[in-house]
A and B are shown apart, each in its own frame.
Chain A
């Protein structure tokens, strides 16, 4: 007898606090996936995560080539940390990663944000971080819903089938 009632997730709220390529994309893939499943989706960008919604930076995100033990060469060999620190290496590796992602039909960040909002997902910027980085609303994506305080973000995270995910 199956007496356990299924309680599907109704709302998911993401906090994106880091600005590396993989951190921002992890947030975007999960948020877009939630929207596609019909789950109400809110994404709050704070600290370096703001790079993911800053017009000048969002399509040029980098992945760390130093201090990243999972880093490999394209052939799968270990990637020496010393090499990662050379000028231009981080840029080249990041651009290669973006190309590989594009080949898997993962859109550039600006287009990804559009996919999320097209399905009704909401994007927010953290007021404290926006002030700290001296940004204005003009610097941020047109897809932005609003700049919120953390309290205002939590107000949007109500409901008993809601999850907050910190990426």
Chain B
């Protein structure tokens, strides 16, 4: 049986007190939690509002910047487009970037660009000639060549009649090496001829001690040049007008323009000359053609004492054995006969050792027809 709580007033009071406290505490807790929740909600809303605003602002800023960059890129692209020559057709690319020689459109035609530079007798200073790249297209050089064309001629005046006759030398019209470095005749003249001459001279009548040689031979080694006739030696420079790229503008020896006697020399790289450029070869001879150097002449071989000048052979004649030049009646036998040689005093031969240095750049032209390039 249930006992009534108020049966005991103290107990009832106590119980009522506890119950009242509990209810108040519960109500208070409920209200506090509600307030916290409200604050949370408010904060969250405020935060969301702020974050949302920031996000929007950032996005707008980025969008604006991107739009500006886009605009500038677009401007730049327009400028670039205006600067770039647009290729159409097979090549297709708008911006070709670095063009390799292989990519230059046009038909390849092997070609040798060459000049013939006259090197006349006694020339020792710079001579030049130019070649203009055709408007048909660029020229690509791969190798260089050089050779020397002799046009050696001579004229003989008859001492008695005064008649003149002209002859080409043996080297006339022949191609010669453009340098002496590979000269097969260098120092090779017959030493045995000199020995024979000595034997011959001393074998007949021994000259008195201290007396000069009484006679000589035209075959004396000192009477002929040991170098090949009409060989060229010089320095060659190459300049290009119309281009901002300097070429071989410092002269190099002609010996480096030919391998061995006449071989081509590979260039260090393909040399591309644009249309309209002007290649100029400048040549400076090291010596006159067929230089009459040395002191081997008639003064020491056939001294013409009576005329007090140098007799035959003459200094200019040291290439005569090679060229087939002969001085008519250069030496006649004097009244004493035997070894009494009387050489002519004046040289009846005038030599004209003209030549043409031929310089070439070997390579190919890239023929590009005017207008549309395919």
Q: Specify whether A and B are partners.
A: no
Instruction: Identify the A interface with B (CB < 8 A).
Output: none
Instruction: Identify the B interface with A (CB < 8 A).
Output: none
